[in-house]
Structure 1
């Protein structure tokens, strides 16, 4: 019961984080590993459980979705689905040791992106403002690569999307948030469905159910919470969580 309660609360936190700025993997993955799952299985369980929260968040923002540059919402979503599927297949095909070795570095990469993403976006946006910005093809290629990373790991994938859009198109973070949540849902739904039928996630039904219920509630609450709390506070909480998780993973390894 203690483990289930921990996983349930972790799911709530992960769902909230994904809705307000991304980063649910930072709390879901280490919590599942802590209760005894292998990193690969924990990643699959986390992805499946975070799907309803991501979809719920996208539903809340459904009337506020706007295109990203000249790329249509349909093209962007289709690219996210294909890219996520490729990344998920890589996780399933490659040896488990590959993911276990890479996970601390993936967490570190995602943490650095989170910490420096806004500064980098500001600098590059000033430069790109003098040009026409990324072409629709370039946006879709970048989205495919980010979605593939999301299908394989998922940490800070929503933040990477916003970085790409703000750097390449000068898109405002607040204006792009509805589309970010929608694409996050597409990435998680695609990889989650694949993991549901091809991984060991169903071998731990109670943990999966607890994380799923928590993440769904957190995703719905987080989508509303994001509109009220200061962005700086939300980002600070996420950055602190990411940093602590990354350090613990390196110490564990």
Structure 2
């Protein structure tokens, strides 16, 4: 990796970190950037998962007080996340590289559609929710099954997973937005953690590119959080939408 390429990856990582801290969706840019940097699609996907892991882990820890109130539910989601994430990662490694290459444009499109409808999903979660009570435990099995499927997707690809998790959490009827965010981050952290371990053991991670972009996302995330009040989330989301759909169109059209 040349110095110029490292600098570009770092800058793009910074931008993605800023976007993640304000509007989310930075991963939509990280994955295709790694491909355009010359990495095989499967390697870019695995490396992108590792880049995203630290931020989710730190954010999940910040919600520990909310999560401690629902220890049983958290235990269920941790088990589901670890198992599903592992299966998704193994599925990615099992799939022939050329088949995954063919899926890339469609996976990007799915991620962009999920990002585009994020506000609708979030509004529906809050509108259909109510305070949790013991009777809602009967819904845990439904949630576990759905989140297991989502976790497999997360270990396999992952982009847009937070929006899928929000959509399935509405079944629980959780009204506390802080608890919803905590559960989402906990599940993503579990999915990415075991998937990351599998990717590292398989030897497909591009560490040079990954660490450079990870450093950029950390710095960008800090700067974005610091100056969030001066930046407009709506404008950031529009920027991601334009860039994301442009990249998606490019991957559909390229030979």
CA deviations 1:56-80 (Å, max 9, x no partner) are 2223343444767x96112112211
Checking the alignment, whether the CA contact within 8 Å between 2:140 and 2:172 is kept in structure 1 is no
Equivalences for residues 110-121 of structure 1 within 5 A: 110-119=111-120
TM-superposed CA distance for 1:200, in Å, is: 2.3
Greater alpha carbon shift after TM alignment, 146-155 vs 233-242: 233-242
Q: What is the aligned partner in structure 2 of residue 177 from structure 1? A: 181
Q: What is the aligned partner in structure 2 of residue 144 from structure 1? A: 148
CA deviations 1:32-81 (Å, max 9, x no partner) are 1111111111111111222222222223343444767x961121122111
Greater alpha carbon shift after TM alignment, 24-33 vs 234-243: 234-243
Tell me if 1:194 matches 2:201. no
Checking the alignment, whether the CA contact within 8 Å between 2:31 and 2:45 is kept in structure 1 is yes
Gaps of 5+ in 1: none
Give the Cα separation in 1 of the matches to 2:154 and 2:5. 27
Cα 1:154–1:163, aligned 2, differ >3 Å: closer, same or farther?
same
Greater alpha carbon shift after TM alignment, 79-88 vs 12-21: 12-21
Aligned residue pair count = 248
Q: What is the aligned partner in structure 1 of residue 211 from structure 2? A: 209
Cα 1:21–1:154, aligned 2, differ >3 Å: closer, same or farther?
farther
Tell me if 1:4 matches 2:6. yes
Equivalences for residues 212-223 of structure 1 within 5 A: 212-220=214-222
Gaps of 5+ in 2: none
Checking the alignment, whether the CA contact within 8 Å between 1:66 and 1:176 is kept in structure 2 is no
Question: What is the TM-score normalised by the length of structure 1?
Answer: 0.81
Q: What is the aligned partner in structure 1 of residue 64 from structure 2? A: 62
TM-superposed CA distance for 1:152, in Å, is: 0.6
Greater alpha carbon shift after TM alignment, 239-248 vs 227-236: 227-236
Cα 1:147–1:196, aligned 2, differ >3 Å: closer, same or farther?
same
Checking the alignment, whether the CA contact within 8 Å between 1:111 and 1:243 is kept in structure 2 is yes
Checking the alignment, whether the CA contact within 8 Å between 1:150 and 1:187 is kept in structure 2 is yes
Tell me if 1:48 matches 2:50. yes
TM-superposed CA distance for 1:228, in Å, is: 8.2
Give the Cα separation in 2 of the matches to 1:144 and 1:29. 23
Give the Cα separation in 2 of the matches to 1:71 and 1:226. 34
Greater than 4 Å deviation, 4+ residue runs: 16-22, 120-129, 170-175, 219-231
Task: Give the greater-gyration-radius structure (CA).
Answer: 2
TM-superposed CA distance for 1:172, in Å, is: 5.9
The one of 143, 162, 166 aligned to 2:166: 162
Cα 1:120–1:26, aligned 2, differ >3 Å: closer, same or farther?
closer
Q: What is the aligned partner in structure 2 of residue 245 from structure 1? A: 247
TM-superposed CA distance for 1:31, in Å, is: 1.0
